[in-house]
Amino acid sequence: MEDKDNVHPDSELRARLEQSPISRYQISAISICFVVFILDGFDALVIAFVGPEISNAWQLTSTELGYLFSASLIGMAIGAIVLAPHADRHGRRPFVLASLVIVTLGMFLSAFATSLIQLMILRIVTGIGIGAALASVTILVAEYAPAKSRAMAIGIVQTAYPIGATLGGALAIILIEKFGWQSVFIVGSLGSAVLIPVALRLLPESIDYLLSKRPPNALENINRQLDRMGQKRIAKLPERVSETPKVGVRSLLSAEYRRSTLLLWAAFLMVMFCLYFILSWTPKLLIESGLSASEGISGGIILHIGGIMGQLTLGYLAGRRNLRKLLIVYFGLAFVAMTSFAFVIENLQFALITAWLSGFFVLGAITGSYAVTFTVYPTEIRTTALGWALGIGRIGAIASPTIAGLMLDRHFSPQALYMVFGLSMLVGMIAIAALPVARSDTTLVK
């Protein structure tokens, strides 16, 4: 029997953790990440449900409402590009905690906004916290989970985002009717505030980060986590097997990663361009096509439910199928679903079916894009890579609600909008198809 304090080389320790069954301790850590994603989904997308009420109260044009939809996405781009890369230098955990504080303040103060400009500024602040959290939390989940559980863990946690949005829609119907749109922001801020002490107590730093960056007390922290996982301790930090890559966008554009980086940026740009159009405008466009206000909100909720199922399905299949080929299928079928939506939007029954299908494939494509990013880059630059991919994607996310608002003010029909935005999924499919074979391209299990 091996001694408890046997030294394991860096690669050997990682391999041991990769091949072990997932422990209750890891499940607990991933569960905290799941709740963070629920709250971020609620906080980021609830504006789609309260937007029509704010528009009526403040007499906003479609273009102004599009600006409001885009405000939090601007913040998310800033958070992903500017803040998230620091998690590769200073740790994933502190940035998740800091982002929760930012989101709590932004949501609470949004309830007291009295003008479009004030609310847009506060939505940007909220978005900064969400953008920083999404990249850090996703990498934490990927690094907490052993290889056999990684695909499903990422898929499950990604479903929390539309779950949060679905809860936002359901709560919005109740809260707006009884207390006004401001109450929805207050409820969101309370949820984030409650999670801060829970995450402070229960959310650990990833062992991958501790092995790579070796902050003070790294050995003690690693061994504490190994104990909780039922794993053998290590007597000292293993010797580095390779030089630590420089962290920053230049590392992503080095000769080794440039092609993959540019293609991933293109895929994220296109899928988020489509995603935030349907998430922001679907309830409003269904209403404009002749459905009632409650039917419009129901369509938005159905879309999120489809997204949840699409993400879970992709998470399950990604551990058993070629991830890149699976993503190509998701992008392609998302294009078909969006185009079909354009032809049935005035019929409630068929509109709800195609809304479900659009959510299934578009949000599933987002989950797959997150997952494939993990396979391309090493630990030392993963959060930087995902942060930049999300930040570039946010450009599409920011532009799409505003472009949709401008198109509506210029008398484009809802049908035309779904066809135009659906084309972005076709472009994204081409980018994924051109992606070089990654170091674990077949599945996320290797």
Torsion of CA 362, 363, 364, 367, to 10 degrees: 130
Flag whether pLDDT at 193 surpasses 90. yes
Dist CA 263 CA 438 (whole Å): 12
pLDDT reported for residue 72: 84
- Residue 388 placed within a domain: yes
Confidence of residue 243 (pLDDT cuts 50, 70, 90): low
pLDDT reported for residue 413: 82
pLDDT reported for residue 437: 64
Give, as one character, the DSSP assignment of residue 441. Answer: -
- Residue 2 placed within a domain: no
DSSP character string of 312-372: HHHHHHHTTS-HHHHHHHHHHHHHHHHHHHHHHTTSHHHHHHHHHHHHHHHHHHHHHHHHH
Lowest model confidence (mean pLDDT) among 40-49, 289-298, 380-389 = 289-298
- Determine contact, residues 358/302, Cβ cutoff 8 Å: no
- Residue 209 placed within a domain: yes
Flag whether pLDDT at 407 surpasses 80. yes
- Determine contact, residues 105/186, Cβ cutoff 8 Å: no
Confidence of residue 442 (pLDDT cuts 50, 70, 90): very low
Flag whether pLDDT at 239 surpasses 70. no
**Closest C-alpha to 27, from 132, 141, 130:** 141
The sign of the torsion formed by the CA atoms of 111, 112, 114, 116 equals negative
DSSP character string of 248-286: SHHHHTSTTTHHHHHHHHHHHHHHHHHHHHHHHHHHHHH
- Residue 443 placed within a domain: no
Which CATH number covers residue 399?
Answer: 1.20.1250.20
DSSP character string of 151-204: HHHHHHHHHHHHHHHHHHHHHHHHHHHHH-THHHHHHHHHHHHHHHHHHHHH-P
Dist CA 320 CA 151 (whole Å): 9
Range of the domain at 365: 10-236+246-433
pLDDT reported for residue 190: 93
**Closest C-alpha to 387, from 207, 277, 303, 261:** 261
Confidence of residue 444 (pLDDT cuts 50, 70, 90): very low
Higher pLDDT, 7 or 218: 218
Dist CA 274 CA 303 (whole Å): 13
| Token pair for 87 | 């998690």
- Residue 154 placed within a domain: yes
Dist CA 419 CA 381 (whole Å): 37
- pLDDT tens, position by position, 318-340: 766 778 889 999 999 999 998 88
The domain tally of the chain equals 1
Dist CA 398 CA 179 (whole Å): 29
| Token pair for 300 | 């938005």
Dist CA 34 CA 38 (whole Å): 6
- Residue 195 placed within a domain: yes
**Closest C-alpha to 425, from 345, 362, 342, 382:** 362
Q: At what angle do helices 182-202 and 147-179 cross, to 10 degrees?
A: 150
Can you tell me the mean pLDDT for 222-239? 80
- Residue 275 placed within a domain: yes
pLDDT reported for residue 336: 93
Flag whether pLDDT at 406 surpasses 60. yes
- Residue 445 placed within a domain: no
